[in-house]
Amino acid sequence: MIPRLHSFGAKLLLLFVLVVAAAQFATWFIVARANHAQARDLIERDLQAAATAFARVVEDRNALLAAGAATVARDPVFISLIAGEQDAATIASMLRSFQLRMAADVALAVGLDGRLLASTHPAAPADEIVRQLVERADQDPSPNPTANGYGYIDGVLYSLVVAPARGPDILAWLVLGFRIDPPFAQRLKEQTSGIDLTFVDDRHHVLATTLAEPAARAVAAASPAAPDRVRELPIGDETALVLTRLLDGGATRHASLALQYSLDEKLRPARATERTLLVVASGSLLVAMLLSRGFARRLSRPIEQLAAHTRVIAAGDYETPLTLRRSDELGRLAEAFRTMTTGLAERDRVRDLLDKNVSPEVATQLLREGAALGGEEREVTILFADLRGFTTLSENLAPRELLTLLNRYLERMSAEIERHGGVIDKFIGDAIMALFGAPVTQSDAASRAIAAALAMEGALAGLNRELGAEGRPPLAIGIGINTARVVAGNIGSHRRLNYSVIGDGVNVAARLQSLTRHPEHATNIIASAATLAAAGAPAGIAPRPLGRVTVKGRAEPVEIFAISPLSGVEV
């Protein structure tokens, strides 16, 4: 019984069957197309070769007749007959002798006025084609002018050659020709790999052919459409490729040669192979259905078991074990489920710890708007704080002692930042990047940042007193503050996000922090003019102008101020 189509097993079975069917029948289709294209290409080449062979045969026969005609035209007796009384019976007798000698099928003598002087064929008038060939030969400037073409004699097509009879001037024209008849067509077929030939007149009558009569009539009815182009033509129950060549019959009646070969005959061996491929494809499809059905059942049952266990996990039950034991990919998936369950339990245990390490403002922002990539442009005050001499300090302390000291320092500094409404953006080793005015907008963000910086300076003084009591060297800090319009939002990848700000203003704040290292500034806190302008006139602050400086990475100078509290004011 076939499983319901909406089940996983049924879909898997359908997928396997479709894949196998598509592969098998695509193979059959590609092979069939390739066979058809190859057969057509071979036939077209054979047809072109047969047309060339026909032209070569006619050319060779005409050359022989022309050479023979030249010899006859110089015969003294023949010349005397032509120049003398022009007795038709005597001339015809000589023409028959010449005809037999040169294996021609017809011989004619034509006067300069186009009048027929004699002929070996009783029904061979000097028709229009003969007169045209004579005119063409008469225009030939060579010493031995000749012309050739096709003409009809008593309804039979002939290839004709015209040569002059001289004495020494041209006295008459000798015409020799051979029949284009069924024996000629059959001989040509034997020389052209079995290509069938059909000669057709301009009235679509069959003149000579190697085909059966019904097929020949079908070819004749379609000739001379699309000359010199290979086309498909239905002939009886089969399809043939036909190439038509026009045979020049002068300005009156033309003829055409149609060369054809059965496409179906060429494809018969390939069609047998294609039928075998179809049988194999059908058998493969049946086997695939049987195998995939069993495989689908074997695969769908453990997947259903895994799906049921997800509902157990969704209910918050991390204790019920998953009993699926397999050594394949599903087994590894089950093991991943067990690992995930352990991870979810661990996540619940550490969630409270994580909440303590995430800024409440950022957490509120993420809960309200979601953790999506992107941000918005807003004015923010950025504070950079860096612990001076940290490299030297790290060289003189053991790693554990260094980490303990760094945590004490960061805890004091972070407390002052958060107390003044700032948000810790990130810890960069011993450096701190804090934001005021993001993600929550603050109208007094600049004032808060300045107050936080002074408070951090005071907190560090308290920490240094503790370190001095412990016999440790004091710590020094440098703080840079800048207010600017930046892009604030979630930055990173879809797997890991960090709420932060980016823009030129961030770089300026970092550069101002580095300027506190210059002894000539004699300050631990440097703020930009933009920050002081945004803060207005904060109480208890004594800003000292340091001039305009060019910071690294920025062409436009920045006006900076040293920040310190007024004498007697405790921050």
Average pLDDT score over residue span 341-363: 56
Q: CATH 3.30.450.20 in the chain: give the residue spans.
A: 61-179
Average pLDDT score over residue span 173-182: 87
Tokens of 412: 């004091």
Task: Residue 300: count other Cβ atoms within 10 Å of its Cβ.
Answer: 19
198 vs 362, which has greater pLDDT?
A: 198
3-class DSSP state of 151: strand
For residue 196, what are the contacts with CB-CB under 8 A and spacing of at least 6? Answer: 189, 209, 210, 211, 259, 260, 261
- Over residues 381-397, the pLDDT tens digits come to 999 999 987 777 778 88
In this prediction, residue 551 carries a pLDDT of: 80
- Over residues 92-127, the pLDDT tens digits come to 888 888 888 888 888 888 888 777 888 888 876 656
CB 509 within 8 A of CB 481: yes
The yes-or-no verdict on residue 29 having pLDDT over 90 is: no
Quote the CA–CA distance of 353 and 363 in Å, as a whole number: 14
| Percentage of the chain lying above the pLDDT 70 cut | 83
pLDDT band at 357 (very low <50, low <70, confident <90, very high): very low
In this prediction, residue 125 carries a pLDDT of: 62
pLDDT band at 353 (very low <50, low <70, confident <90, very high): very low
308 vs 432, which has greater pLDDT?
A: 432
pLDDT band at 493 (very low <50, low <70, confident <90, very high): low
In this prediction, residue 134 carries a pLDDT of: 82
In this prediction, residue 530 carries a pLDDT of: 92
In this prediction, residue 226 carries a pLDDT of: 60
Quote the CA–CA distance of 117 and 88 in Å, as a whole number: 6
337 vs 433, which has greater pLDDT?
A: 433
The yes-or-no verdict on residue 299 having pLDDT over 70 is: no
pTM above 0.85, yes or no: no
Average pLDDT score over residue span 527-554: 85
In this prediction, residue 151 carries a pLDDT of: 82
**Omega before 439 within 30 of 0, i.e. cis:** yes
In this prediction, residue 92 carries a pLDDT of: 81
In this prediction, residue 300 carries a pLDDT of: 66
Average pLDDT score over residue span 401-428: 91
In this prediction, residue 464 carries a pLDDT of: 93
In this prediction, residue 355 carries a pLDDT of: 47
Quote the CA–CA distance of 549 and 557 in Å, as a whole number: 5
φ/ψ (deg, to 5) at 294:
-65, -40
Average pLDDT score over residue span 147-160: 84
CA-CA-CA-CA dihedral for 414, 420, 424, 425, to nearest 10: -150
- Where is average pLDDT lowest: 19-23, 80-84, 344-348? 344-348
In this prediction, residue 372 carries a pLDDT of: 45
Average pLDDT score over residue span 308-327: 72
Using alpha carbons only, give the angle 493, 484, 414 rounded to the nearest 5 degrees: 70
The yes-or-no verdict on residue 179 having pLDDT over 60 is: yes
Quote the CA–CA distance of 134 and 322 in Å, as a whole number: 105
Quote the CA–CA distance of 1 and 342 in Å, as a whole number: 40
CATH code of the region 37-54+183-267:
3.30.450
Most confident of 20-24, 59-63, 233-237, 250-254: 59-63
412 vs 440, which has greater pLDDT?
A: 412
| Mean pLDDT (the chain, rounded) | 80
Q: Would you tell me which CATH number, out of the four given (3.40.640.10, 3.20.20.70, 3.30.450.20, 1.10.10.10), belongs to the domain 61-179?
A: 3.30.450.20
Radius of gyration of the chain (CA): 53
pLDDT band at 528 (very low <50, low <70, confident <90, very high): very high
The yes-or-no verdict on residue 525 having pLDDT over 90 is: yes
In this prediction, residue 526 carries a pLDDT of: 94
Tokens of 471: 């016999």
Most confident of 94-108, 312-326, 399-413: 399-413
In this prediction, residue 360 carries a pLDDT of: 54
Tokens of 281: 């494809």
The yes-or-no verdict on residue 88 having pLDDT over 80 is: no
Say which CATH class 371-562 falls into: alpha beta
pLDDT band at 7 (very low <50, low <70, confident <90, very high): low
In this prediction, residue 297 carries a pLDDT of: 67
Quote the CA–CA distance of 218 and 204 in Å, as a whole number: 10
Average pLDDT score over residue span 11-30: 74
In this prediction, residue 456 carries a pLDDT of: 94
In this prediction, residue 66 carries a pLDDT of: 81
Q: Are strands 431-436 and 156-166 parallel, antiparallel or unpaired?
A: unpaired
- Where is average pLDDT lowest: 154-158, 321-325, 372-376, 506-510? 372-376
In this prediction, residue 80 carries a pLDDT of: 76
Q: CATH 3.30.70.1230 in the chain: give the residue spans.
A: 371-562
In this prediction, residue 374 carries a pLDDT of: 54
Q: Which of 364, 358, 350 is nearest to 414 (CA)?
A: 358
- Where is average pLDDT lowest: 101-115, 182-196, 217-231? 217-231
